[in-house]
């Protein structure tokens, strides 16, 4: 076994995919404030905001890598702005503090395309651009990007990060602006009409769960010298609108009815990238996605059905 890894926030949409891949070569402890008996590894109830319990878990298990996935996502975060700010920023700083005190080697912490804003040239978003995020989720992620840059550039820690776009998986998402992409697949399979909260032509970047998890682990496993920046990398796979996604689902043999009724989430999505430039990550790390939009839809439908 290579590493002793603690995953925080493992009961969410992405957690089990990180557990599955990381458990192949490492000792993994998954944790969350929500109990989870379905994961294929040791599980522990742990609140990232409880510093003493976090430190005890890390010391007891000799943890040398942390994956911090704890979050309140963009749409849900607008109902709980203070809680979102505290969870993201204090959670991040607790992981930083404990990692310095306990000599944790590496931290993975995903950022999000929510850090961008209307001033980020949304048609072609480079890695380093002006950012004025529109949601508290984006504001708190951007604050942690600055903290990450601070700790990396002072060589106090080794924090690695990707700005995930919307992730398509068989696990249901937990309150994000891109949730429709998974929810539509579930509606297609159940034969129910889907009420879409985004404009039918709202284009957003997305990626298959396997691509996002593999990219993250690849980033965690390369030598630090290959990483040319101290802040997160852009990463993306394909850009799609709700209407094109429905068309793809139709070509796979489903007759999905979609009612388009925009709500506040469409306003958030308007301030997010329509196209992301991730060549820096691809060049530094030697990565490219395996799944385009059609392959993604087919693979996730198969996974839900299995």
Six token digits for residue 134 = 């529109």
Q: Is 134 in the site for ligand NAD (CB under 6 A)?
A: no
Q: Which is nearer to ligand NAD, 64 or 111 (by Cβ)? A: 111
CB-count burial class (<10 Å; 0-12, 13-18, 19+) for 123 = exposed
Nearest Cα neighbor of 131 from 114, 150, 109 is 114
Give the shortest CB-179-to-ligand NAD separation in angstroms.
8
For the segment 227-286, give every residue that binds ligand NAD (CB under 6 A).
Answer: none
DSSP string across 109-150 = --EEGGG--TTS-TTSB-SS-----SSHHHHHHHHHHHHHHH
Q: Any idea which residues carry the catalytic annotation? A: 137
Q: Map the footprint of ligand NAD across residues 164-203, applying CB under 6 A.
A: 164, 166-167, 173-174, 176, 178
Q: Check residue 95 for interaction with ligand NAD (CB under 6 A).
A: no
Partnered with residue 240 across adjacent β-strands are 204
CA–CA distance from 224 to each of 23, 151, 154, 211 (Å)? 23, 14, 14, 21
Distance of CA 304 to the CA centre of its chain: 20
How many angstroms separate the Cα of 283 from the Cα of each of 219, 224, 241, 279, 303? 12, 14, 27, 6, 31
**Footprint (CB under 6 A) of ligand NAD, residues 58-77:** 69-71, 73
Alpha-carbon distance values, 226 to 182, 222, 253, 262, 286 (Å): 34, 7, 44, 43, 10
Q: State yes or no: residue 12 binds ligand NAD (CB under 6 A).
A: yes
In this complex, which beta carbon is closest to ligand NAD, that of residue 28 or of residue 87? 87
Q: Is 32 in the site for ligand NAD (CB under 6 A)?
A: yes
CB of 232 to ligand NAD, least distance (A): 10
Question: CB 109 → ligand NAD: shortest distance, Å?
Answer: 7
Q: Does 133 bind ligand NAD (CB under 6 A)?
A: no
Pick the closer one to ligand NAD by CB: 234 or 253.
234
Nearest position to ligand NAD, beta carbon: 12
Which CB, 167 or 249, lies closer to ligand NAD?
167
For position 13 contacting ligand NAD by CB under 6 A, the verdict is: yes
Binding interface with ligand NAD (CB under 6 A): 8-9, 11-15, 32-34, 47-49, 69-71, 73, 87, 110, 112, 164, 166-167, 173-174, 176, 178
């Amino acid at each position: 076994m290579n590493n002793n890894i603690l995953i925080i926030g493992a009961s969410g949409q992405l957690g089990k995919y990180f557990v599955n891949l990381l458990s192949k070569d490492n000792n993994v402890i998954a944790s969350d404030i929500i109990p989870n008996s379905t994961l294929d590894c040791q599980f522990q109830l742990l609140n990232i905001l409880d510093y003493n319990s976090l430190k005890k878990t890390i010391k007891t298990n000799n943890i040398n890598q942390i994956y911090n996935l704890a979050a309140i996502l963009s749409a849900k975060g607008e109902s709980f702005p203070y809680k979102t700010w505290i969870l993201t920023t204090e959670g991040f700083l607790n992981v930083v503090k404990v990692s310095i005190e306990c000599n944790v080697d590496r931290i993975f912490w995903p950022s999000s395309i929510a850090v961008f804003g209307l001033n980020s040239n949304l048609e072609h978003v480079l890695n380093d651009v002006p950012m004025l995020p529109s949601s508290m989720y984006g504001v708190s992620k951007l604050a942690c990007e600055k903290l990450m840059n601070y700790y990396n550039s002072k060589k106090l820690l080794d924090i690695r990060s990707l700005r995930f776009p919307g992730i398509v998986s068989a696990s249901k998402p937990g309150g994000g602006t891109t949730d429709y992409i998974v929810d539509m697949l579930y509606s297609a399979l159940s034969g129910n009409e889907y009420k879409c909260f985004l404009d039918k032509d709202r284009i957003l970047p997305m990626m298959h769960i396997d691509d996002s998890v593999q990219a993250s682990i690849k980033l965690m496993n390369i030598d630090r010298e290959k990483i040319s920046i101290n802040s997160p990398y852009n990463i993306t796979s394909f850009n799609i609108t709700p209407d094109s996604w429905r068309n793809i689902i139709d070509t796979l043999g489903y007759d999905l009815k979609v009612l388009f009724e925009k709500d506040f989430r469409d306003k958030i999505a308007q301030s997010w990238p329509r196209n992301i430039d991730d060549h820096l990550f691809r060049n530094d790390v030697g990565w490219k996605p395996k799944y385009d939009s059609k392959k993604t839809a087919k693979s996730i439908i198969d996974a839900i059905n299995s």
